Structure 1
Amino acid sequence: MEKNQLDHYISYGKYQEALEILNLIQRDGILSDDEYLKKLYVQIFICLDNGEFHKGRELADKMIEESRKRGNILMEIDALIGMIENNSSLTMFNEAFELIDKAQILLKKIDDKLIKQMKKRQAYIFFLKGKIYRDLHDIVKAIELFKKSYELRKEINDRFGMIWSLSNLGVSSTTIGDFKVAEKSLKRSISIAKDLDAWVGIVWNLIHFGWVKYHLRDLNTAISSAKECFSICKSKNMVSPMSHCYDLLGHCSLVKGNLKESLSYFEKSLNIKLEKGQYNLLPYSYYYIGVVFSQKGEFKQSLEYFNKILEIKNVEIGKMFKPMYLNALGKVYGELGKFKLANQYLLEALDILKKNKTTHFKFLNFNLSSTKILHNLIILSVNNNDVEKLNFYLDKLYQKSLENPNIKQIDQLYRLDKGIILKLSNFLMDKIEAEEIFNEIIEEQLVDHDIVVEAMKNLCELYIYELELTGEEQILQEIEELSTRLLKIAESEHLYDLLAETFFFKAKISLLNLDIKNARLLLIKAQNTASEHELKRLANKISNEHDSLLMKLDDWEKKIEKNISLKERLHDSKLEFLISKKPNSNSNEIKNKSDIPVYFIIISTINAECIYNRAFGDIKIDDGSLIAGYISAINIFGKEAFSSKGSIDRIKHGDYITILQLQKEYLFGYVFKGYSYSAISKLNEFIKSLSQLNYNFDNLILDYEKNLKLPEEIHTTIENLADKIFLSSKII
């Protein structure tokens, strides 16, 4: 009975339960040769499930040796299978193929009476070869092998094996964009896994199913799958798959534009991989953390993580991952203005993809493809004023579009780049043709929002060129309509950098329309959007632009009074499209434009009582101009800023700027000289730190009302906090 139960557990992948039976048998006596080998086998697969691949290899090596000593061919094949599983998990593919050949030779030696046992192991070998070919990106061969393994397992009713054949068939089908087959295969696999209570199978199928939904942009289902999987892993103390759950959640957050959340998930995944010694998976974690920093505009931090990939010892960067990594390096160096390095990395990536004969890497992962790298080389050349190879790259892109007529993205990318090159021409007819191309792309069915956004940006630049030539109001209206369409794409696709940039651009349009109030509101929206999504470099630029506007308010008021023409307004204010696309070597640096603290105050909005105030430096608090400016600021804030709850506005009076923020029953005011970005950051940090103290906002007002002043301890704590934050020269 015990033997039957043991074999049942092993057949259905319940290795921990099988190990418990074997330990009981060993406690009561000596294990038989068969039981001893089975114990090694279940320990190998427990290591595999837990991501302990090196330990699994050691056990497999021991089982191979012990099986040979005992002349047990079936168990030797099982040991080889265990070794192949662990080797392929460590990307040791050459060794894995050698072991497969050895297993195939041994299969021929099995007695004909054991045909079912032979077929079971043959199906497993098909499955393992499929996994390796999938990881080597020979997807057609992988799918063929997974189908063969499934049919053979189905023939002998190996239901546990069917779980994995179907699961991997689903993963491979996802890779080529066959989501119908992928979803069908994974659902069938999950169903069998649940029937058998094979929770390891359930876990991995939930992860794979989540990725299918991610690619289909059904993010809620993807997140739900990851969280269900995570819950099972926690209950079963199964740590290794948790890193894959975090990766999936990180990608979903990245698509939603939640960069802080995405970074947190990727870092948690990285920690598990480091803890488990899964060094072969570290490049992916470092890469996606680098991608997050790149999206935040923090390119030097991005490079730090990309370069960590090169520091991993004894890990070879995969032939498909390497071009993805090189492409990312090329783009970052391009942003930093290091064109020679950028060009070098992009060409190396293109060369690898050419040798691999790979045009596109994965469906809906168009960013890693020879076509997209050619596009990046064209943009790099344009930004570097290097026109020598532009037409060469464009011709290559054209050939790709002819070779892949069913892939709309390639055709659109070719036409986009053709338009960008035509836009550079000094000939009017070329610019008109470029305008027609951009309009065509914009009006076509949305295939890739990145391409459409680029077409819109370039069309905007052409409109601005026309506007500067003619000064026609109609063209400005067309620019405004185009920016509204950009805004809708940014909102629907969670592109918060584009959203902030478009608010920023619309603020400039409002200035040209002499609508200063709307321009300032849009600048506040732009900065708040950038700050909320940790786009610090962008938030800083927008804040500096707002400061610049405050400095020139009198000039703009005069323009309104004189009602000067649009052409004159354009001449007086150089209008660039969004954030400048021209990179430079300092593009990652947030200029250290700090504020000089003058005065800080906390006011109760209930009774207008001053709860706390602090003057910094030698400033005299009875300075008439300062007090007048502050009262003026409060008055303006009370009438206007409260209409946008929680917003931070700035009011300039003489050399002073005041920013205010409403939080519950408190009005926080900070007066300073200099630049607003660091001042706003400090005020936010102060409010956040104060809310985290033991005596929260509610207790603060109670203590004040009770004593008509703050208790000494609280006053000292707030004073220290104010000094620590507002006197710091660091931009928070």
Structure 2
Amino acid sequence: MSDSRPKELLRVEQLINEVKFEEALKIIENFEIKEPLTSEDQLSMLLLKGRIYGYNNQFEDAVTIGEQAYLMSQKLELVSESIEALFLKSRIMFVGRIDKALGFILEAEKKINSLADKSSSDILRQQVMFLALKSWGYWVKGEIELALKTAKQTLSQQENIDNKIDIANNYLLMGEIYSYLRELDTALDYATKSLDIAEELEFQPVIGTSSMLISRLYVSKSNYNQALDFCKKSLSIKEISSWDKVRNLNLLGEIYYFKSEFDRSLQYYNQAIALAEEENIYEQLALNLYHVGYIYRLQGEYDRAIETSESGLTLAEKIGYQYVAGGSLESLILICLDKGSIEQAKQYLTRLEKLSEQAQQKVITDWYSLSKAMILKMDGRTRNRAEAEVMLRKIIDDTALHSEYRQFALINLCDLYLEDLYLSKNLEILEDINPLLTETSMIAEQHHSYLWVAMTKFLQAKLALIQMKMDEAKHLLTEAQNIAESHSLDLLAIKISSEHDALLTQVDDWENLRKKGAPIGERLGLVSLEETIDVMLRKRGIQPPELTDEVPVLLLIIAEGGIPAFSYPFSEEWSIDDGFISNFLTAFNTFSEEVFSKGLDRAKFGEYTLVMDSFGSFSVCYLFKGQSYLAKQNLLQFAHRVQNTTSIWQNVNNFHKTHQPIVLSENPPLESLITEIFIKESPEISTLL
């Protein structure tokens, strides 16, 4: 485009580079009614307007303008302008017409190569834009290696052109590609760079899309609270497209699915379905129907699960969305197996086999292999179960397979062996199971799948119990709960904590079993393996007990050497009789070292439960009656607040100088903190999630 253009259009171009789109469109609107306009000026105006629409993710409008501008540029024999028009037309890739878009991009490349003078700034910009659109085209088409190679070329060329908008978009693409390649840290780095530039420019559409990508990456890293923050930030951007709104709602559904909060997950998936229907975004409609059907299955609503999954399957087949068609068929097979309808499951398997042959997509082939193994496993005949074992081992050994499918195969194989354990009562079978769980945990850690890591340790704890390894079981339960809590898997953390509490009340029972050499069948009766396995096999969701507030008994801050720096008895009997506290301190000095050295977080002290934490050179101990989960949260909150409240922390640290116990009446902030955390009612569970 020539710089002899009217000053209004030059100003528009400047405003576009400054991401002042509304102001630019206002000038264009006024310019359109200006008389007279040359054909060249009309064309320039159209191209600038189309560029704004493209940057604003208004792809259909950009394509429409591109078609008009292309006809005008051809008529006027303006090659540079026709290249710009082809760039606008190529935005059709973002509304599902990728092959047509790549044709426009290749046509633009030919025109660029036909230009005699390639040194002008406009032509250099077009060369970079060509590379950028080509890399996006490869990405949308699924040619990942070519997309990455071209995106890197684009990035190196963009250094010569000061266009931060396009740099932000290219960083976004690099983030998407590395996310697909599971190089999560690299992906997060590029996505963050994109967001930083977009925020500097106040470039709202890319703020929205970059935030959504960052959210997805945090989901992949099992950082669900951060994922929620960025997803909600993306949704707050009014300029994001309807497509991205649906994707964000889908992402919120996915986050709450991983957190096992299925009602919330359904809420967002159903919102995504409603918006996708309204905007005719059929790919997302099919995808969200598939997800909703899956959750209905986990909730045990099999009829609704089948109905919804069938709807998603029908739509996916109609629009040629093979991924969702395959996923829906796999889901329907699992539902039928849960219902015991093996023959119906086989019918769906036949359809999945045909789709696998047609699609030639590895993920669909993997679904078929897993589904076939599941059906064989459900068959009671020895030959079929043996074939299922062979198939599952083949899936496990396929390192190119997605980690989730390998983990699913590992747990199914564990389930086969556990069935043998229940039938044979032969403990040697655990020698086959334990390595499988170790491999499951290793794969899960490598791929940041901390739900699987926590669940695997939870199952390992129960198997340790069967082997009478009490300390190992308690240590694994503590590890599992800590992992769940650190990744905001609240329902799982509550479930594990309740099982740990139950174990502490059964210690004497287990000790009696050990002394009398109880048979394996009697031990299996005390361990709820089936429920844990079913959650890992995706047959049900996590069902934690209802939380109740603990009854506070005693709060202690203990210095090195077991010397009490502060004590606060909540119970009158403890405050009246100092012997209770003295006896407790004597016992504490005996078992605290053991508890901490074994990495445990709680212990029984008669009828009471003790949870502990440490800060600085002090230990803080909380004795109570009741459930440990909220008690532990209260203790952790107390320890954190003590350290971060200057007046309280100074008084605690002064103990090293004065060796005088802290007197509550002389420390009103500490008294207020204890009242706030321990004496008032604990929060409802809904406020914790």
Alignment correspondent of 1:141: 100
Looking at structure 2, the residues matched to 376 and 670 of structure 1 have their Cα atoms a distance apart, in angstroms, of 46
Alignment correspondent of 2:79: 119
Alignment correspondent of 1:287: 250
Partners of 2:272 and 2:285 within 8 A in 1 = no
Looking at structure 1, the residues matched to 211 and 373 of structure 2 have their Cα atoms a distance apart, in angstroms, of 40
Alignment correspondent of 1:375: 330
Amino acid corresponding to residue 36 of structure 1 in structure 2 = E
Pick from 456, 476, 481: which aligns with 2:410? 456
Looking at structure 1, the residues matched to 549 and 301 of structure 2 have their Cα atoms a distance apart, in angstroms, of 31
Aligned-pair CA distance for 1:371: 1.2
State whether structure 2 residue 23 is matched by structure 1 residue 72. no
Looking at structure 2, the residues matched to 264 and 606 of structure 1 have their Cα atoms a distance apart, in angstroms, of 41
Alignment correspondent of 2:226: 261
Alignment correspondent of 2:476: 522
Looking at structure 2, the residues matched to 419 and 585 of structure 1 have their Cα atoms a distance apart, in angstroms, of 16
Amino acid corresponding to residue 530 of structure 1 in structure 2 = A
Partners of 2:601 and 2:612 within 8 A in 1 = yes
Looking at structure 2, the residues matched to 314 and 423 of structure 1 have their Cα atoms a distance apart, in angstroms, of 39
Looking at structure 2, the residues matched to 93 and 231 of structure 1 have their Cα atoms a distance apart, in angstroms, of 24
Amino acid corresponding to residue 687 of structure 1 in structure 2 = A
Amino acid corresponding to residue 393 of structure 1 in structure 2 = Y
Pick from 426, 429, 443: which aligns with 2:383? 429
State whether structure 2 residue 347 is matched by structure 1 residue 395. no
Aligned-pair CA distance for 1:500: 0.5
Q: Which moved more, 1:245-254 or 1:308-317?
A: 308-317
State whether structure 2 residue 124 is matched by structure 1 residue 159. yes
Partners of 1:595 and 1:676 within 8 A in 2 = no
Aligned-pair CA distance for 1:652: 1.5
> Residue deviations 1:653-706, cap 9 Å, x none?
332111111222221111111111121122122222333323364563127845
Aligned-pair CA distance for 1:347: 2.3
Pick from 145, 149, 168: which aligns with 1:184? 149
Change beyond 3 A, Cα 1:622–1:520: farther
> Residue deviations 1:237-260, cap 9 Å, x none?
545433333333323222222222
Looking at structure 1, the residues matched to 174 and 276 of structure 2 have their Cα atoms a distance apart, in angstroms, of 33
Partners of 1:383 and 1:583 within 8 A in 2 = no
> Residue deviations 1:45-65, cap 9 Å, x none?
358x46x5x776665555444
Task: Provide the secondary structure at the position in 2 that maps to 1:651.
Answer: strand
Alignment correspondent of 1:335: 298
Task: Provide the secondary structure at the position in 2 that maps to 1:447.
Answer: coil
State whether structure 2 residue 91 is matched by structure 1 residue 131. yes
Partners of 2:276 and 2:282 within 8 A in 1 = no
Pick from 170, 178, 200: which aligns with 2:135? 170
Change beyond 3 A, Cα 1:626–1:702: closer
State whether structure 2 residue 258 is matched by structure 1 residue 298. no
State whether structure 2 residue 595 is matched by structure 1 residue 641. yes
Change beyond 3 A, Cα 1:182–1:279: closer
Looking at structure 1, the residues matched to 616 and 8 of structure 2 have their Cα atoms a distance apart, in angstroms, of 69
Change beyond 3 A, Cα 1:283–1:697: farther
What TM-score, normalized to structure 2? 0.89
**Mapping of residues 352-501 of structure 1, within 5 Å:** 352-360=315-323, 369-387=324-342, 389-405=344-360, 407-501=361-455
Aligned-pair CA distance for 1:625: 9.2
Change beyond 3 A, Cα 1:314–1:521: closer
Aligned-pair CA distance for 1:547: 1.1
Alignment correspondent of 1:13: none
Looking at structure 1, the residues matched to 401 and 232 of structure 2 have their Cα atoms a distance apart, in angstroms, of 32
Looking at structure 1, the residues matched to 328 and 586 of structure 2 have their Cα atoms a distance apart, in angstroms, of 55
Aligned-pair CA distance for 1:300: 2.5
Unaligned runs of 5+ in 2: none
Aligned-pair CA distance for 1:282: 2.5
Change beyond 3 A, Cα 1:596–1:192: closer
Partners of 1:504 and 1:526 within 8 A in 2 = yes
Alignment correspondent of 1:665: 617
Amino acid corresponding to residue 396 of structure 1 in structure 2 = R
What TM-score, normalized to structure 1? 0.84
Aligned-residue RMSD, C-alpha: 3.2
Task: Provide the secondary structure at the position in 1 that maps to 2:350.
Answer: helix
Amino acid corresponding to residue 119 of structure 1 in structure 2 = V
Task: Provide the secondary structure at the position in 1 that maps to 2:399.
Answer: coil
> Residue deviations 1:338-362, cap 9 Å, x none?
33433333222222221221213xx
Partners of 2:286 and 2:316 within 8 A in 1 = yes
Aligned-pair CA distance for 1:266: 2.4
Change beyond 3 A, Cα 1:464–1:707: closer
Aligned-pair CA distance for 1:90: 6.3
Aligned-pair CA distance for 1:607: 5.4
Partners of 1:259 and 1:534 within 8 A in 2 = yes
Aligned-pair CA distance for 1:541: 0.8
Alignment correspondent of 2:209: 244
Alignment correspondent of 1:27: none
Partners of 1:457 and 1:577 within 8 A in 2 = no
Amino acid corresponding to residue 679 of structure 1 in structure 2 = A
Task: Provide the secondary structure at the position in 2 that maps to 1:253.
Answer: helix
Aligned-pair CA distance for 1:574: 4.3
Alignment correspondent of 1:692: 644
Looking at structure 2, the residues matched to 310 and 65 of structure 1 have their Cα atoms a distance apart, in angstroms, of 42
Pick from 475, 479, 497: which aligns with 1:543? 497
Amino acid corresponding to residue 44 of structure 2 in structure 1 = D
Task: Provide the secondary structure at the position in 2 that maps to 1:146.
Answer: helix
Identity within the alignment, %: 24
State whether structure 2 residue 186 is matched by structure 1 residue 221. yes
Aligned-pair CA distance for 1:529: 0.8
Unaligned runs of 5+ in 1: 8-32, 361-368
Alignment correspondent of 1:197: 162
Partners of 2:458 and 2:477 within 8 A in 1 = yes
Looking at structure 2, the residues matched to 257 and 243 of structure 1 have their Cα atoms a distance apart, in angstroms, of 21
Pick from 646, 654, 674: which aligns with 1:722? 674
Aligned-pair CA distance for 1:620: 3.9
Partners of 1:204 and 1:241 within 8 A in 2 = yes
Partners of 1:704 and 1:711 within 8 A in 2 = no
Looking at structure 1, the residues matched to 496 and 113 of structure 2 have their Cα atoms a distance apart, in angstroms, of 62
